[in-house]
Amino acid sequence: MIRQRKHWIDLLRGICMIAILLDHTEIYYTGINIIDYNVYVVNALTIFFMLSGYLMYKETGFDIRKKMKSIAQTLLLPYFIFSALISLPKNLVHGNEINIMNICEQIILGKASWFIAALCLSEAIFTVTIWIVRGKDLALFCVGIMGFGFSIYLSQGKQPYPWQLDNSMQALLFLWIGYTYHKYEKAANIINHTAYISIFFLLLICIKIYEYMNDINMLVWPISINNYPIFLLDILLCSVLMIQIFKRLPPCKWLEWTGSHSLVYYFLCEGVPLITSRVFERIGLSYHGNYLYVIAAFITVYIITTILTWFIYRYLPFTIGKKYGKNIYHAPKRSKGIPLNDTKA
């Protein structure tokens, strides 16, 4: 039996990927975060980790071999391929001196793409943990908490660590949250009501205002967080709110397509905004305080990244661990009498 994807997962991944593209466009085009990082970027990144944890829970039983193979094929292999392909042109555009040995060292030590490296290591650790403790709630919770605590300790040292060890440890808690939410999703659906969603939204707004007024730092890479209680409250509240909202949204093919192909989008989310920004500057479209220029640059970045992502999935699927003819995902269509929220991921 072929399991259909849950459309809300791809919708949510899609909006998170767009958020990251906007963030990188702002940074490369204007040199700063015009919209504060705490407003949405930290949430987009942590939600990606939580959704990965969500997809790790299996009602039919956990297969460690299958999962480790999936990590190797769909995360580790693309990491090495894309990091190798992107590193040289990235250094050229930045005007850096080309040092092949240094580039190779960065790639081998997992420093070429912090998010993918952290996701690889954290998923591998969490996978082994699930297998060892046989999915027991308390043991997984302890691993998530201890990992998060260890990340706080590591953040005081010299960053980045090989394979982003600090972020990998931090992500263990996010994976556990997503995994546990999926396991008890039916019980958690009690909060999927307009009243609860409205309350969560108002609380989140208050937290965001508090963060802004008190200059709270919530940078997840490199880790620089000066108020962990507020950080955890923010990401938990926002994640729950976003999940409940996106479960209610109707299908949106282009956004779901973005979400289902977010891995390649992520690999391109630095190079394309960087080159697009340079081109805009060359043709006299430099940023001078008008945010409409940023929107124009972002739309250009999104279109180019989408075309490149389509090309890679269509003609170079081996770079992401896919086979020819089995690489293209189409947004699910609603079947008569079957709510999309009931489909399997």
- Structural domain spans, the chain: 7-332
Q: Which helix (H) or strand (E) holds 251?
A: none
Mean pLDDT of 148-169: 90
Encoded tokens for 57: 């829970």
pLDDT of residue 338: 33
CB-CB contact of 315 with 39 (8 Å)? no
pTM of the shown model? 0.87
pLDDT of residue 334: 44
Instruction: Write the pLDDT tens digit of every residue in 58-99.
Output: 888 888 999 999 999 999 999 999 988 888 777 776 667 777
Residue 50, pLDDT > 50, answer: yes
d(CA 178, CA 146): 17
d(CA 325, CA 307): 18
Mean pLDDT, the chain, integer: 88
pLDDT of residue 332: 46
Say whether 331 sits in a helix, a strand or coil: coil
- Cα dihedral 144, 149, 151, 154 in deg (nearest 10): -150
Residue 39, pLDDT > 70, answer: yes
Mean pLDDT of 102-110: 89
pLDDT of residue 187: 87
pLDDT-derived band of residue 325, with 50, 70 and 90 as boundaries? low
Report the interhelical angle of 37-56 vs 114-133 (nearest 10°).
Answer: 40
Residue 191, pLDDT > 90, answer: no
pLDDT: is 329 or 286 the higher one?
A: 286
